[in-house]
Chains A and B, each alone.
Chain A
Amino acid sequence: MKEPLKKLLNNNQLIWCGERCAPTRRGLPTGYAALDAILPEAGWLRGALIEVISPQWGIGEIELFLPAMAAATQANKQLVWIATPYTPYPPALVSGGISLRHLLVLRPPRHQDIPWAMETVLRQRRCAMVLAWPGRLISKTVRRLQLAAEAGGGVGVLFHSEHRDSSFAATRLLLKPGKSGLQVTILKSRATRGRQTVALTLH
């Protein structure tokens, strides 16, 4: 490839060029070396949505993001959890390294306010990660959330319990309980190498 063309492709984030031209930005380290190794940018993409499909809650879906969240709060960034299925339990959060000062919990009384709340906080530069359990979303809403994440530069995580064919989210993960932890399958990511599965050991 010609040098100027390569430069152009490398510097333009809107063009995905497969792994050879994968951008060299650093993502938010996940805290799991095995996962960092197969994710582009060696971590969670900043300014993008992650869609997590998990058939059950309570298989380690929060623990997957715990190291990244802990690092973010230590760096004085804000975390927001929206419409959680159960109560986040502070003693475990503190043991996980999360500073409670930087965790905001939103409990919207109406279901339709969840995407609005998520979009509002995602637009804030101060927010490092926003986790939401929105239930069913139409693809237009997901697109809006993706744009909000791009504007704010944080990571938005949408938890779903059922599999859908396509989504605007930059990364899609399928979670399954493993023997000694969690099996993470990357369904979609920028510069993807096809479906890849990694088994993580949780505590």
Chain B
Amino acid sequence: MSESAAAAPLQHSLFSPQSRVDPEPSATGRSLLWMSLFFPRLSLEVLEADVDARPWAVTDEAHGKPIVQAASQPARKMGVERGMALTAAYALCPELQAEPRDRSAEQACLTDLADAAMQYSSMVSLEPQALLLEVGASLKLFGGLQALYERVEGDLRQQPYEVEIAVAPSPQAALLLARCAMQTCITERTALRAELGRLPLAVLPVSEKQATLLGRMGLRELRDLWRLPRAGLIKRLGLEFIDYLDRLLCDKPELRLSHKSAASFSASWHFPQETENLTFILYGIEQLLPRLVNFMRLRELALNRLQVVFYHQDQQASRLELGTRQLCRDETHLSTLIRERFNQEKLSAPVLELVLLAEEFHPAVIGNQSLFAPGEEQDTDWQQVLDQLQTRLGEEAVCHLQLRDEHRPEYAWAYAPTRPAEPKTHGLLTRRPLWLMSQPQRLGSGLKEIQLTSEMERIEGGWWDGFDVRRDYYRARDRHGRRLWLFRNLQDGEWYLQGLFG
């Protein structure tokens, strides 16, 4: 502490006065605070689940030669270090196995982590092997930095990735501290110089030439830099380097691109070998569903259409489509529906890989229930039952009935896919049958055994839409005791049966 106090007066004289001015406060007047999540072994972890099982390393190309990018714990014990040439690593550890780095897998993994990190901050940006979160705006919501830090750490501990967390007022400082595995939280700009000053110069992301130059200048730690005149540093190391230092110390604001999460959801599950076993396939789907639900939860979305695509060995991919009647983001419900579909549909071939695909989302309005309509309280449960029925029986099979304002009996009703509105009072004076035939049936000779039991009711009209009717309706009984609803068609003089009083 005494050292940093001694260094303080020097800072004033050495850096240009205008750079000492506070960076523009953000629009809300609060200061920014950055949390950096650095994944030191990401290149290893994306390739293998059990990283430390054997001595192995991930290699990268540098100057046309493979160099060690990251090494597992057994390899590091033998002396293999990051940045070492692969040949040198082999010399230290003869049984070392080397794998090329898979950058696309790392990027995909980082994007997933960034999606998950959107729950802590609306501003997440991607860095090589690291994420940067602006947490200054999130402190109030999460109840302070301590609580947020613990929450992030707790959530990340459940991921299979090793992580270093650091917090600082500038993004570059947070990144640097995390890369150095300094689990520090710096919230004050004034404390930055003292804290960063202790770091060795080797951690700075500088070119090889600059690194040698810094070495030749006899500098070892960052605090040595603070003491040097600004103009001289610019001359020796270039404007870019000074610019970096300014951003590091929060003397210059930095613009960052925010991570935009994908608009559609797609996640795949690979099976170690082709399988037709439903237990395995459902297991795969159930591993993906929580990710889908989480995807929706973070974005306040819900879906009513979902697809599962199956990839087979030498066949075209097949797919299973699922629809719900209401917006849904309930994991157990989706799982039940998928199971229900599997109960009736057979897979066309053994499955190699499956993809859970959801492209259409809607803003979620889940959990809002009317306070004053107690009758509707179990509505979500009932909707889930309807979904279940629809999934098994088909969309056409689940329907409601609705009335239509129409005097011709066969047009006075319709099937409705959703619950119809309460109809106005139906102004019918005469009785109608409970059963309606899909088509009026011509009676022909069966007429003799029928006894009419009511007055005639005439229904006619309809010339305006081409289905003109002129009918005399009667109620009747046949010899079996059935109560019929008949009409005589005045256009052709024949008798027809249209309904039954069930």
A-to-B contact residues, CB < 8 Å: 55-63, 66, 76, 78, 84-96, 99-101, 103-109, 113, 116-117, 120-121, 124-126, 176-178, 202-203
Q: Are A89 and B403 in contact (CB under 8 A)?
A: no
Contacts of B422 in A (CB 8 A): 99-101
Q: Are B434 and A117 in contact (CB under 8 A)?
A: no
Q: Give the Cβ gap from B151 to chain A, nearest Cβ, in Å.
A: 39
Q: Which of A62, A84, A124 contacts B382 (CB 8 A)?
A: A124
Q: Which of A56, A88, A101, A113 contacts B419 (CB 8 A)?
A: A101
Q: Are A60 and B400 in contact (CB under 8 A)?
A: no
Q: Verify if B169 is at the interface (C-beta below 8 Å from A).
A: no
- Closest chain B residue to A125 by CB distance? B378
Q: Are B423 and A94 in contact (CB under 8 A)?
A: yes
**Top 9 A-B pairs ranked by shortest CB distance?**
A177-B481, A58-B500, A76-B375, A86-B435, A62-B502, A92-B432, A89-B436, A58-B482, A90-B413
Q: Which of B436, B481, B499 contacts A56 (CB 8 A)?
A: B481
Once A and B bind, how many residue pairs between them come within 8 Å at the CB atom? Answer: 148
Q: Are A91 and B385 in contact (CB under 8 A)?
A: no
Contacts of B378 in A (CB 8 A): 125-126
Q: Are B434 and A126 in contact (CB under 8 A)?
A: no
Q: Are A89 and B400 in contact (CB under 8 A)?
A: no
How far does the alpha carbon of A178 sit from the alpha carbon of B482 in the complex, in Å? 10
Q: Are A101 and B420 in contact (CB under 8 A)?
A: yes
Contacts of B436 in A (CB 8 A): 86-89
Q: Which of A89, A101, A107 contacts B399 (CB 8 A)?
A: A107
Contacts of B499 in A (CB 8 A): 86, 89
How far does the alpha carbon of A104 sit from the alpha carbon of B437 in the complex, in Å? 19
A-B contact pairs, 27 of them (CB 8 A): A57-B500, A58-B484, A58-B501, A62-B434, A63-B501, A84-B435, A87-B435, A87-B437, A87-B438, A90-B413, A91-B403, A91-B412, A93-B434, A94-B423, A95-B426, A95-B432, A99-B422, A101-B400, A104-B386, A106-B393, A109-B393, A113-B393, A117-B392, A124-B381, A126-B381, A177-B482, A203-B431
Q: Which of B382, B394, B415, B481 contacts A59 (CB 8 A)?
A: B481
- Closest chain B residue to A89 by CB distance? B436
- Closest chain A residue to B373 by CB distance? A76
Q: Verify if B397 is at the interface (C-beta below 8 Å from A).
A: yes
- Closest chain B residue to A66 by CB distance? B434
Q: Are A103 and B412 in contact (CB under 8 A)?
A: no
Q: Which of A62, A90, A126 contacts B401 (CB 8 A)?
A: A90
Contacts of B403 in A (CB 8 A): 90-91, 94, 100
How far does the alpha carbon of A177 sit from the alpha carbon of B434 in the complex, in Å? 16
Contacts of B118 in A (CB 8 A): none
Those of B475-499 within 8 Å (CB) of chain A: 480-484, 499
Q: Are A92 and B431 in contact (CB under 8 A)?
A: yes
Contacts of A62 in B (CB 8 A): 434-435, 502
Contacts of A108 in B (CB 8 A): 393, 397
Contacts of B482 in A (CB 8 A): 56-59, 177
Q: Verify if B69 is at the interface (C-beta below 8 Å from A).
A: no
Contacts of A109 in B (CB 8 A): 393-394, 396-397
